[in-house]
Amino acid sequence: MLRWGLTALWLVSSAGVYSFYVHIVAEGWWFVSLKLRLLNVFLWVVIALLTVVCIYAWAGRTDRLLNWLERLVEMVAKLRLGLWPVLLALLAVFPLSMSGISGLYLDVIWTRQAVFIWLMVILAIGVAAMWQKSAPESALIAALSMSVVYHLATYIPHVTNYPFSLWWSETTRYYLASTALGQKIYGQELPWMMKDLTRYLIQAVPFLIEDSPLWLHRLWQVSLRFTTSYLAGYLLARRFNFSRKMELALFSVWAGLFLFQGPVFYHLIVVVMLIYWLADPHKFWKTLVVVVIASIYAGFSRVNWVPMAAILASVLYFLEVPVKGNGLKAVFGYLWMPAVWSAAGLASGLAAQQYWYVNSGNPVEIYQSSFTSYMLWDRLLPNPSYALGILPAIVLVSLPLLIYLAIGFKHQRRNVHSIRLIALGGILLVLFAGGLLISVKIGGGTNLHNLDMYLVVLLTIGTELYMGRAVTTDAKPIKVSSPFWLKFAAAAIPVLFIASFSGLSTNTTDLQTAYKDLAMLQKYVDQATTDGGEVLFISQRHLLAFDLIKDVPMVHEYEKMLLQEMVMGQNQAYLAEFAAQMNGQRFALIVTDPLPESLKDPQNVSLAMENNVVFTDLVPLITCAYQIEDSLVDGGVDIYIPRKSTTCGQE
C-alpha cells in the first residue's frame, strides 16, 4: 500500500504542480507575482523530495518508512481531544480553498486533485492517531469523508433566495413542478410535464406548503441531489453481511460516489432503490410485484428506464441463483423467472407511459422528439463540451470493476453455468452501447448520465461478486481475491472524480441589483398587460410561480426547455405553430434568456451545435416579428416587444 500510495501521490502531485505552473503563466500571474514564483519553486522542491522517497520505497526500504510513519502517528496521538478541531478543520479546508481567490489557482483539475490528495494524507494520519485504525482504513475514511463534505459544499451556494435563475435550467425545474398544482398556483389546469413526470412530482412537494419561498425549493432539490445516491448505496450495502457499522457506512458512501459519477438522477434512482430494498431473486412473486411497481414508476419517468427494474432483478437472479441440472431443459427452466419479470415489467411500464402520453393534455407528437434528434458522434471523444469525452471517461470509470469481473469469472468459469455469464455480459454490453448511443444525441454528451443504467448494473455485479453474494453451480459463495492496486484504483477513481468536480456555476448579480431588475421587469409586464396584452415568459417562469412577478396570466405554451427540445428534435409541426404565433404578434411582451447571436465553432466552443441549431431554426422565428427592448440581470434576461412591421417568411 505504501509503495502504490506514494507512487499515486507522486504522479498526481507532479501533474498538479506542472498544471499550476502552466495556469499561472497562461493567466499572466507568473510575471507580476514574486510570491507565486517562489511558491512554484517550493512545490518543485517538494516533488523532488517525494521522488527520492518513492525510489527509496521501491528499493525495498519500506520497513524504515513505515517505522517513521508509525512514530509520526504516535506523536500526533498525544494531542488526544485536541485532534477533533484539527480533523474538522481539515475537512473544511478543501471546500474553502475552492471558493474566493484561492479557487482561481485551483481551476485546473490536476492541481485541484493534488491539493485534495495531500489534505487526505494529512487527515488519514489524524484518523489513524485518533482511533488507532489501520493504514488502509484510515486512508479510506479520510478520502470518503472529504469527498462527502466537498460534495455537499458544492451544493450549499444553491440554497439562496436570489430571485432569478442560477443557471440555464435551474428555475425551469421549479416551474415544471408547479404545473402539477396549476389550479392552486395559477388558477388554471395545466398539461402534465412532457418529460420526467416523476421528477417534477417529487419536486412539487414544497408547493404543498402555502407560499413556500424559493430558497425552500432550492433546499429540497439540493437534498434530493445529495442524498439519493448515498441512500441507494446504503440499500445495496444492506444486502451484504458487514460485521461492523463502519464498514457498512464506508461502502454506502463509496457506492454513492460511484453512482454520482453518472450521475444517476434522483427520480430515476428510485427504481434502483426499490429493487435493492425489496427484490429477492429467490422469491418469484414478491420480486414480480416489486418489478411491476418499479416499472410503472419508470414508465412515468423515462422511456429508456422502463426495462430497468426487470434488468436489475434479473442481474441479482443470475448472480445469486444457480442453474439446476444440465441441458436445454435446465436452461429454459432457469430462464423462465427473469423472462416473466421482463415481460411483466416491460408491459406495465409501457402501459403507464402510454397512459401518461394520452392523458397529459399535450400533443402526442412532442413525445417523439427523442427519436428524431441530431446525433453528434464527436461527443464520444474529447471535445469542448466534455473534455474527457464520453468513451474515455466511461472506460476510466468502469475499468477497475471490469478488470475485477474478468479476473473473477475467468477463475470461476468452470463453476458457473455459461448461460449466467452470457446473460450478465450481454446485459452490460447492451446497456453500454445503448448509453453511448443516447449520449451522442444533441443536448447530451456533457457527462455520463446517459450511461446511468450501465453504471448501476456494473456496480451491482462487481460488489455482489466481491462480497460473496454470487454463487457457483453448487450454490457456494464465489470467492475472488484481487490485487491491491486494483482495489486502490476502484476506491480512488470515484474520489478523484468528486475532487475534479467544481460544482455547478452560480453566476449571479448582487441581490440589490437583482431586485431592482425584478422591479423593472414588473413595470414592463404592467405596461404590456394594461390593454389586455399577453406576456410570454419563455424562461424565468418561476417568477410567476412564486408571485415575484404579479398579475400576469400564465401562458403555458412555448416554455424554454420544450422549445429547445422541439428544435433539436426537428418537430416541424410544433415549430410551424410557434412561427404562426410569432408572425401574428400574439404577445405584447416576451421574456427570455439571451438568444444566440451567431454560429459557433463546434471544434472550439462548448455546446456549439446546440447554439447553432437554435440560432438557425428558432431565433429567426422570433426576431422577424419582435425586437429587443431591454436587457436585465447583467444580460441574463432579455425583453422583446413587437416590431412595427414583421419580416417573417421573407428571404
pLDDT above 90 (res 371):
no
Q: Label residue 178 by pLDDT band (50, 70, 90).
A: very high
Percent of the chain with pLDDT over 70: 98
Q: Are residues 310 and 228 in the same domain?
A: yes
Q: Is 491 a member of any domain?
A: no
pTM of the model: 0.94
pLDDT above 60 (res 86):
yes
Domain boundary residue, one of 105, 128, 158: 158
Q: Are residues 75 and 223 in the same domain?
A: no
pLDDT above 60 (res 76):
yes
Q: Are residues 103 and 32 in the same domain?
A: yes
102-111, 157-166, 273-282: least confidently modelled range: 102-111
Q: Are residues 183 and 149 in the same domain?
A: no
pLDDT above 80 (res 288):
yes
Q: Are residues 297 and 425 in the same domain?
A: yes
Q: Is 446 a member of any domain?
A: yes
Q: How distant, in Å, are the alpha carbons of 119, 128, 311 from that of 54?
A: 19, 22, 46
Q: How far apart are CA 421 and CA 306, in angstroms?
A: 24
Work out the average pLDDT over 414-426: 94
39-53, 100-114, 200-214: least confidently modelled range: 100-114
Work out the average pLDDT over 630-635: 94
Tens digits of per-residue pLDDT, 190-241?
998 888 999 999 999 999 999 999 999 999 999 999 999 999 999 999 999 8
DSSP letter at 546 equals T
Which set of grid coordinates corresponds to residue 246? 463502519
The whole-number pLDDT of residue 325 equals 87
In this structure, are residues 287 and 313 in contact, taking their beta carbons and an 8 Å threshold?
A: yes
The whole-number pLDDT of residue 464 equals 96
Q: How far apart are CA 480 and CA 405, in angstroms?
A: 9
The whole-number pLDDT of residue 243 equals 87
Q: Are residues 264 and 412 in the same domain?
A: yes
Q: How far apart are CA 162 and CA 509, in angstroms?
A: 9
Number of domains in the chain: 3
Ramachandran sector of residue 503 (left: φ over 0; alpha: ψ -120 to 50; beta: rest): left
Q: Label residue 450 by pLDDT band (50, 70, 90).
A: very high
| Averaged pLDDT of the chain | 93
Q: Is 165 a member of any domain?
A: no
pLDDT above 60 (res 454):
yes
Q: Is 219 a member of any domain?
A: yes
Work out the average pLDDT over 68-97: 91
Q: How far apart are CA 128 and CA 139, in angstroms?
A: 8
Q: How distant, in Å, are the alpha carbons of 11, 102, 636 from that of 112?
A: 13, 11, 30
Q: How distant, in Å, are the alpha carbons of 265, 290, 301, 405, 519 from that of 197?
A: 13, 20, 5, 36, 33
DSSP 583-646: HTT-EEEEEESPPP-S---TTTSTTHHHHHHHHHHTHHHHHTTEEEEEEETTTTEEEEEE-SS-
Q: Is 492 a member of any domain?
A: no
Q: Are residues 71 and 100 in the same domain?
A: yes
| Residue position matching grid coordinates 517505522 | 67
Amino acid at 617: D
Q: Is 490 a member of any domain?
A: no
Q: Is 90 a member of any domain?
A: yes
Q: Which domain holds residue 628?
A: 511-642
Q: How far apart are CA 344 and CA 9, in angstroms?
A: 51
Q: Are residues 91 and 50 in the same domain?
A: yes
Q: Are residues 126 and 186 in the same domain?
A: no
Q: How far apart are CA 432 and CA 446, in angstroms?
A: 17
Q: Are residues 240 and 145 in the same domain?
A: no
| Residue position matching grid coordinates 438568444 | 595
Q: Are residues 120 and 239 in the same domain?
A: no
pLDDT above 70 (res 505):
no
Domain boundary residue, one of 137, 158, 179: 158
The whole-number pLDDT of residue 310 equals 98
pLDDT above 90 (res 80):
no
Q: Is 489 a member of any domain?
A: no
Q: What is the dihedral of CA 110, 111, 117, 123, to 10 degrees?
A: -160
The whole-number pLDDT of residue 570 equals 87
Domain boundary residue, one of 158, 183, 205: 158
Q: Are residues 264 and 376 in the same domain?
A: yes
